[in-house]
């Protein structure tokens, strides 16, 4: 499920890059992810519960707290990631968010009491070295601090959203794992659609109309987004979020392929080494997670 989610998320980032650069604002491109994803998530949730004769679960205050916190963090992280694409090329922009692996391990221990062992931390530190190599502009004497802040901020918010979403799925126990995942996803996308809709209405007049008028393109962002989220939510319902997100670093391989083959962007040697270290850290962290 994690490998599936990482692949679909790369596709969604590609679609959002096109939308943000061609016809929609950062907020519009972010909103498109949720607007068309919610109906699909809700349909799957209702259909699955009906076909399995599972009653609709009690949605406690704790569940809604996790869902709303995770949804808000994910929206903000997606917003930062889309904005980041205008500062760096496609592969490196996503690589900046990989500081999430360090942060999600810390958040997991503090918030949910789920710890990562010493070998896992070695892998995480290797990945951090790779990310540091990616923070320097080619041929520049100084770091692009704005891009660094956006990338690390997105990583922190993605990490928090992962922890909160795992917490939401745990609140729905003893439901079967997929039922917990799809109900949590439907509730999260509903809240995100409402919240982003209000934000655009107040802060970006006319953008809602542009998102709807571009539905032939934006609907694919929504579908890709909800499919990827379904993969992440299902994985979170099964395993420690730190290990899920560590395995999810395989996304950087998919992103590199998309950057070179689809967007015809060039990677410098420093960036290639940094990405290689990030991928290497993935192997070490996942091996640690199997012990």
Whose CA is closest to 150, among 94, 107, 199, 203?
94
pLDDT on residue 133: 74
For residues 147 and 200, the model is more confident at: 200
Report whether 91 contacts 271 (CB < 8 A): yes
* Each residue's pLDDT tens digit, 178-201: 999 999 999 999 999 999 999 999
Neighbours of 26 (CB within 10 A): 21
For residues 239 and 82, the model is more confident at: 239
pTM: 0.80
Which of these ranges, 101-115, 117-131, 132-146, 214-228, has the smallest mean pLDDT? 132-146
Give 143's strand partners.
136
For residues 91 and 171, the model is more confident at: 171
Which of these ranges, 91-95, 217-221, 224-228, 258-262, has the smallest mean pLDDT? 91-95
Domain boundaries, the chain: 2-289
DSSP, residue by residue, 171-229: HTTTS-HHHHHHHHHHHHHHHHHHHHHHHHHHHSTTHHHHHHHTHHHHHHHHHHHHHHH
Which residues does 93 contact at the CB level (< 8 Å), separation at least 6? 81, 84, 85, 87, 147, 151
Cα 36 to chain centroid, rounded:
17
In the chain, pLDDT over 70 holds for what percent of residues?
86
């Amino acid at each position: 499920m994690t490998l599936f989610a990482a692949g679909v998320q790369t596709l969604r980032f590609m679609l959002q890059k096109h939308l943000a650069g061609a016809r929609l604002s950062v907020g519009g491109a972010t909103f498109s992810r949720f607007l068309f994803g919610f109906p699909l998530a809700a349909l799957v949730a209702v259909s699955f519960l009906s076909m399995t004769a599972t009653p609709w679960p009690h949605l406690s205050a704790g569940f809604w707290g996790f869902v709303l916190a995770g949804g808000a963090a994910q929206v903000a992280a997606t917003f930062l990631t889309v904005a980041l694409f205008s500062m760096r090329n496609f592969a490196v922009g996503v690589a900046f968010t990989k500081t999430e692996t360090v942060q999600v391990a810390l958040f997991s221990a503090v918030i949910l009491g789920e710890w990562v062992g010493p070998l896992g931390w070695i892998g995480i530190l290797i990945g951090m070295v790779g990310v540091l190599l990616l923070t320097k502009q080619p041929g520049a004497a100084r770091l692009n601090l704005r891009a660094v802040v956006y990338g690390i901020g997105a990583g922190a918010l993605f990490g928090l959203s992962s922890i909160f979403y795992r917490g939401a799925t745990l609140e729905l126990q003893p439901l079967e794992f997929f039922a917990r995942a799809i109900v949590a996803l439907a509730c999260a996308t509903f809240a995100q659609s409402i919240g982003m809709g209000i934000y655009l209405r107040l802060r970006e007049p006319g953008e809602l109309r542009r998102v709807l008028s571009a539905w032939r393109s934006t609907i694919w962002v929504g579908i890709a987004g909800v499919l990827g989220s379904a993969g992440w939510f299902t994985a979170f319902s099964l395993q420690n979020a730190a290990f899920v997100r560590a395995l999810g670093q395989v996304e950087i391989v998919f992103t590199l392929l998309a950057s070179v083959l689809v967007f015809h962007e060039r990677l410098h040697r420093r960036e290639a080494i940094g990405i290689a270290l990030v991928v290497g850290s993935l192997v070490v962290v996942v091996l640690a997670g199997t012990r």
